[in-house]
A and B are shown apart, each in its own frame.
Chain A
Amino acid sequence: MKIKEDSSTKWFRLISYVVVILGSLLCLLPFLLIVSASLTSNAEIINEGYKLIPSHFTIDAYKIVFMFPEELLRAYGVTTFVTVVGTGLGLLMMTMAGYVLQRKDFKYRNFFSFVIYFTTLFGGGLVPYYMLITNYLQFSNTMNALIWPSLMTPFLIILMRSFINSAVPDEVIESAKIDGANDFLIYFRVVMPLAVPGLATVGLFLALHYWNDWFNSALFINDATKYQLQFYLYNIINTSNFMNNIGAGAGVVLSGPVPSESMKMAMAVVVTGPILLLYPFIQRYFVKGLTIGAVKG
């Protein structure tokens, strides 16, 4: 027999559905606006503003974007490379750091934890950071400037440390040691498999960070072939902003192509589209990672 739901449950469910549906529509709306604007003619956007359903449907903007796709594709390549290498290296280094910091037999673990934590509270600021990367490390104009700065994010290290601390019991490490495993073996064969949910979380955050990064390109990269995707996009918008804001007195007339409104939107679609399609898959593994960790005792 089916258990009858009382009316309060029904109401609760109804309200939740309405709230969630409205919420997701609200989230979807801006993106729909971008897509529709990219399919609108530029003159219409300027004269009548953005509309959900364009009255003149055109794919001109995409034609222009794909007339010279090499810049866009190269930026895609750079971002993909940086994301893959950075996430891989970063995960390795941060789990190692987290693992070591939580080992009870590491005498100075609190001191080192504090040093790492300290940098999240007090930073040197932009100028020393810039000097470190360009003058001392000589990273400017290389991929190093895009990858290295985010490899050891203090917050994620501490997250990893507390996660390993709670997910991997000391007894497991001890027994592995008794079985004759050395520290690296314990790390790779015992700790890593148990820390999969943590890896998934930290990995996702790190990958998103690398994917969305534009600031490092803005500061350290002068070579147009090494621009990250987000910077490539951001710079296009900034160029037209600059043109709007610079006074007539500066007398600056740029001869290069200034992208139209619809072109900007088309680029946004081209840039965000693929990662958006990829996201559900990553998310599935992410959730899977969480549940695998949960079931294993």
Chain B
Amino acid sequence: MLGKQKKAIITMLSAMLVMSTVAACTSNNGKTNNTATPKPTAATTTNNTAEGGETTTGIDTSKKVELQFYMLGNAPKDLPQVEKQVNEWLLEDLNATVKFNYTTWTDWDQKYKLLLSTGQDVDLIFTAEWTQYQQYAKNGAFLPLDDILPVAAPKLYEFVPQDMWDAVRIDGNIYTVPATYKEYVTGGFVWREDLRQKYDLPKPVDLASFEAYLDGVKKNESNIQPVALGGAIDATLEDSLMELHRQRVGALPYGLHAEYSDPTNMVGYWGSAEHLEDLKTYKRWADNGYFSKNELNETDSNQDKLINGSAAAIFSDNPTRYNSTLNQMKSLHPDWELAYHPFGITNGFATPVHPIHNGFAIPKNSKNAERALAFYELLVTDERYNLLTSYGFEGVNYEVDGNGHYQMIGDNSTNGFPREAMNSWAWRNPEYMIFEPSYDGVEAIFNALDEIQVPDIYTGFAEDYSSYQAERAALEQVEKQYLFPLMAGLVDDIEGGLNTFMEKANQAGLEKIQAAYKEQWLQYLKESGYN
């Protein structure tokens, strides 16, 4: 008996040991392999047959429906109140209610993919070029809107200019409703103007003057890192430099390069003489201590560093974010100054955001496509809906001051609905938009860029990487392993390092990817008439 008991304890203990060592590896098993007893809850869509409801559009609204609305990001605290009010109006207008769902920023891309690929009950979902709208549309995740737009949302169809509708077409069909608010998300130098004046440094307008500024900061302020780049060095360093210095048409992947003025002439940038030259520039910056040796492991945001005074510049940021950095810095250090120089001024051209940049699409599984579109029309064109979902309740969350400026009541941590807290980027309506007083600075930049604006020809391109998916993943690894340290100035022998990188990249299939991409790109240019 005792022996058996002892054996049992030993079994348990050893099992525990094994368990604790493999816990890390098996932590997902419990999630993916369990059988669960079915226990259906009430279906999410309520299909009550309620009669009545004012029909404002040419669609059938006799049946009451609940629309599932999906947006990225975190829901604001006051969302339930806003949703209640919207539903009150919506029940009257369209005999429908809406449920605003927010994905949070945790694994948002995975969730986005699951929502679209597993046939979920989704009626409206956010699209942008950075959520791969082009790929999803090409693969048939969304419903073509051409036919139902004039029927379900005639006002919206009028409201959005025809050229924007055309610009979001993928393979000839409209899949998303673009936002009409015009903004620029192009890059520009951000620097500490008070330091620049104090040490009489040149104003950064191009690479040379920027370097001179960094050098001056380094010499005079030993405690401040001249430029903050962060871990995503491919975007903050290479893409910024390409945009400023080599006038790249867009953030082309796979080390490809084509100038804006000559988009058909697409060449490999990685491994070229220009690439070597740029890598030497980065190396010089690293050696001179303009950025940290540990930059790749940095977790604080570049903006935070500027706000708190541990860095003196950001290589590239867009006007809106520059403005928000400026405001945050001013609230902590009123005597400091920031300044901004858009790359567009140096290059002589700037591209406003492509209509794809912010939009809402209807997934092909939607059961209430017409009603969803009609609701979206209200969201954009009806002032009540638009203001409420953009700024919250007037008098509770915000007020409009004498100059027509937006004024938040309380501050970020006490207000349950800060400005655009529902991430209402896509349903911004320029006619109703109200801005914070500090927006004047952004508007001035936008106005300057308006004078030199040219259309964005890159974003409309829908890459189809199905034929080189494996190579793509391999290349990404190679890039992280061999190119990142090279850019961060951690490799002494640049030429040797570049050769190694190119060798590994070619083994991973760089040439195949580039050739396939270029073919698609030229095809796109031909179809869209840009060449």
Contact = CB atoms under 8 A, between A and B. Distances in A.
A245 B229 CA distance: 11
Interface residues of A, number: 85
Contact of B2 (A231, A252, A253, A297): A297
Given A131-B118, A201-B12, A238 B128 contact: no
Contact of B332 (A43, A152, A198): A43
A293 B119 CA distance: 51
B5 A120 contact: no
26 contacts: A43-B309, A46-B300, A123-B33, A127-B118, A137-B40, A138-B41, A138-B44, A140-B44, A148-B34, A149-B36, A150-B30, A151-B34, A155-B29, A159-B15, A201-B12, A219-B111, A224-B74, A238-B105, A239-B104, A244-B231, A247-B251, A248-B318, A252-B425, A254-B423, A256-B74, A294-B6
Contacts of B101: 222
B156 to A, nearest CB: 23
Contacts of B239: 247, 249
A182 interface: no
B284 interface: no
Interface in A37-93: 42-43, 46-47, 64, 67-68, 71
Interface centre among B16, B74, B231, B300 (most CB of A within 10 A): B74
A120 B111 contact: no
A214 B104 CA distance: 13
B419 A248 contact: no
B105 A152 contact: no
Contacts of B19: 155, 159, 205
Contacts of A256: 74, 76, 412, 418, 421
Contact of A163 (B12, B103, B318): B12
Contacts of B9: 197, 290, 293-294
A163 B15 CA distance: 10
A46 B304 contact: yes
Contact of B31 (A137, A216, A297): A216
Interface string B283-306: 000000000000000011110110
B317 A248 contact: yes
B419 to A, nearest CB: 5
B263 interface: no
A185 B336 CA distance: 77
B4 interface: yes
Contacts of B320: 251, 253
Contacts of B420: 255
B33 A154 contact: yes
Interchain residue pairs A-B with the least CB separation, the first 10: A251-B185, A119-B33, A148-B36, A242-B105, A222-B101, A167-B8, A255-B418, A123-B32, A46-B308, A166-B8
Interface in A113-137: 119-120, 123-127, 129-137
Interface string A203-236: 0010001000011101100101000000100110
Interface of A: 42-43, 46-47, 64, 67-68, 71, 119-120, 123-127, 129-142, 144, 148-155, 159, 162-163, 166-167, 169, 197-198, 201, 205, 209, 214-216, 218-219, 222, 224, 231, 234-235, 238-257, 261, 290, 293-294, 296-297
B480 interface: no
B53 to A, nearest CB: 26
A interface: dominant SS = helix
A137 B26 CA distance: 24
B30 A250 contact: no
A285 B509 CA distance: 58
A162 B8 CA distance: 9
A251 B183 contact: yes
B232 interface: yes
Given A144-B39, A159-B15, 9 more contacts: A64-B413, A134-B120, A150-B30, A162-B15, A169-B1, A222-B103, A238-B106, A250-B128, A250-B185
Contacts of A234: 106
A247 B357 CA distance: 13
Contacts of A201: 12, 15-16
A42 B102 CA distance: 29
A42 B308 contact: yes
Nearest to A70: B77
A139 B251 CA distance: 40
A224 B75 contact: yes
Contacts of B28: 215
Contacts of B332: 43
Contacts of A166: 4, 7-8, 11
Given A248-B185, A253-B320, A135 B119 contact: yes
Given A119-B33, A166-B11, A296-B5, A253 B324 contact: yes
B41 A167 contact: no
Given A46-B305, A125-B32, A130 B118 contact: yes
Nearest to A204: B16
B interface: dominant SS = loop
A276 B26 CA distance: 24
B316 interface: yes
Interface in B29-51: 29-44
Contact of A67 (B40, B186, B317, B413): B413
A153 to B, nearest CB: 5
Given A42-B308, A47-B309, A125-B32, A248 B105 contact: no
B530 interface: no
Contacts of A255: 412, 418-421
B97 to A, nearest CB: 15
A247 B15 CA distance: 47
A64 to B, nearest CB: 6
A127 B32 CA distance: 10
B235 interface: yes
A251 B425 CA distance: 10
B333 to A, nearest CB: 9
Interface string B397-413: 00000000000000011
Contacts of B79: 224
B527 interface: no
Contact of B8 (A131, A251, A293): A293
A184 to B, nearest CB: 19
B187 A248 contact: yes
A120 B104 contact: no
A257 B412 contact: yes
B29 A167 contact: no
Contacts of A214: 106
Contacts of B2: 297
Nearest to B314: A248
B108 interface: yes
Interface centre among B6, B304, B317 (most CB of A within 10 A): B304
Contact of B301 (A71, A162, A243): A243
A153 B30 CA distance: 5
A128 B425 CA distance: 33
B311 to A, nearest CB: 9
B32 A124 contact: yes
A290 B10 CA distance: 11
B107 interface: yes
Given A123-B29, A162-B11, A247 B418 contact: no
B104 A235 contact: yes
A238 B104 contact: yes
A48 B129 CA distance: 37
Contact of B5 (A209, A257, A294): A294
Contacts of A132: 36
